[in-house]
Chain A
């Protein structure tokens, strides 16, 4: 059955020609979404939590070489491989093109994480912990996840919900640039752009038509809602 979308379809454009690999998006995401600390031993066990990560690729050897960076987050695929494998419908698509993870439903089978070609789903192997004082800086608008469930980038759905309500209170439509996920807000060179692709006047719509645009692992047919821009040099 074809998905019927509402007025909005949230899309992110990532301009790789602008990305400097500064990791501000990673830090912003960790702070916004109550992600616990990734300590060294967790890296060694390959059990780190990073809803957005910056992958680095070297072009040439070190002194002369250039580094290329690709921020990778949940692609919110329109044909998401994670969704049909969930036995309890904890992950599903909503009307606005978001791939939603419902924490209270998740039973932690990890099928979705195994089926995700982008490796952006993370399992809580431990109860998340913070140093005592840091509890006061947790974001009250985001659930603190618990042990035994899968979590992933939500496109900051709490900010989308708040933005909609703010627009409703002020009696207007959502404007382009009204809603910003934490990573988009933090990006110093504005490499990340977020918006509603159904709005043909939006920046996201214009950039998605750019000839530099491509989708990550497009040949898999996942049809992601994250668009990458990169000038390819031959």
Chain B
């Protein structure tokens, strides 16, 4: 949660900075225009504006490309805060591969129906799950943490080494909408691997 507020704060600061940077030349330009400005100066002002907008959008692009900005809307509004938080369901109850497989695995609709055959009748979100079950259709959950194809992350190896889920996925039990908390770029992985004396040999992840 702290990282989210930090992220929001950073975005707000960016907006403020951008606003100041963009608005100042516009205001100064406008006042000078009123005072009767030469065409050359106007062109210079516009060029400056273009440069500032360029820098702002570049910073924004890097922010978005790291994946923090987006909190996707899942097809079913699944509250982890209720399941993992209030009800205290273990991560492994639904993500069954996390301790024994490379992939943690999304639960199938059938697995949701273990409980929701009985629990939560009438809740519009639960009804979506029931509808998918009756239609025999999967629910297309959106993936939050996607690694490139040339990186192989093994959940089993990390759980065997005693890494908890929250190290990478954050305090999921407090998230109403699940979102990304770490960049999961190579630098991010390596910082932890180096600190914990875990293997940093290339073929550990790249094969």
Contacts and interface: CB of A to CB of B under 8 A. Distances in A.
Contacts of A94: 201-203
A142 B206 CA distance: 9
Given A94-B201, A141-B102, A165 B160 contact: yes
B160 A158 contact: no
Contacts of A154: 203, 207
Interface stretch (B114-122, B126-134, B148-156): B148-156
B157 interface: yes
Contacts of A104: 150, 206
A96 to B, nearest CB: 9
B207 A143 contact: yes
Interface string B134-158: 0000000000000001101010110
Nearest to B201: A94
B202 A100 contact: yes
A190 B202 CA distance: 31
B164 interface: no
Interface residues of A, number: 21
Interface in A160-180: 161-162, 165, 168-169
B57 interface: no
Given A95-B201, A168-B160, A161 B206 contact: no
A157 B207 CA distance: 7
Contact of A143 (B100, B102, B160, B206): B206
A105 interface: yes
Interface of B: 100, 102, 149-150, 152, 154, 156-157, 160, 201-204, 206-207
Interface of A: 92, 94-95, 98, 100, 102-105, 141-144, 154, 157-158, 161-162, 165, 168-169
